[in-house]
A and B are shown apart, each in its own frame.
Chain A
Amino acid sequence: SQTIHQWPATLVQPVGSPLSLECTVEGTSNPNLYWYRQAAGRGLQLLFYSVGIGQISSEVPQNLSASRPQDRQFILSSKKLLLSDSGFYLCAWRAGRGIEKLFFGSGTQLSVL
């Protein structure tokens, strides 16, 4: 069966510091991968998605970037964090062959101080 791993679970970072969040999927190949952000008490904002290695689509211009160095690995990065980058970051995956179900990782609670 397929599983998705996301880490770390919580992170406290100072303003101006770099960020790297990692997500990996097991049990499937060539998945569609996604990064969502959720501000406290708010909805799910799509940040990036990827349909294959090296293919990244950005939904919202921002202080963040994403990379997909391997088929089942998706990384969210920032060179310099802002206070507004605080939130709950969720990685998600979806089979890329017409199967619509989207499954989320356990999330990373990021606090930028």
Chain B
Amino acid sequence: GENVEQHPSTLSVQEGDSAVIKCTYSDSASNYFPWYKQELGKRPQLIIDIRSNVGEKKDQRIAVTLNKTAKHFSLHITETQPEDSAVYFCAASPTGRRALTFGSGTRLQVQP
């Protein structure tokens, strides 16, 4: 089955700096890659997603890049703000499988 690895497990940046979180996946048939943000005690919220026919997608300060050949995708947050502090999860969805496989999460802390 699919295996998703996520790095780093924790990330601390200064306000205004950029943050990058990386994930790799094992199933070359995976074709959908979402990112979720989870604040303490809350549900994970979908913040951005990308499909395998696209190499990059951007939404204001967040962007996701996908390298199908290398089987890795990354989340980029620019001009970080304290409210970006949360746990971020990547996921992959293999073709023919009904469920997402999640990475282990990255705890991002933005220092004011």
Contacts and interface: CB of A to CB of B under 8 A. Distances in A.
Given A32-B98, A51-B98, A101 B43 contact: no
Majority-rule SS of A interface residues: strand
Interface residues of A, number: 21
B65 interface: no
Given A32-B98, A43-B102, A59-B99, A100 B43 contact: no
Contact of A34 (B41, B46, B99): B99
Contacts, number: 45
B44 A101 contact: no
Given A106-B43, A109-B41, A101 B49 contact: yes
Nearest to A36: B102
B89 interface: yes
Contacts of B99: 34, 46, 49, 59
B103 A107 contact: no
Interface of B: 32, 34, 41-46, 49, 51, 89, 91, 93, 98-105
Interface of A: 32, 34, 42-44, 46, 49, 51, 57, 59, 90, 94, 100-107, 109
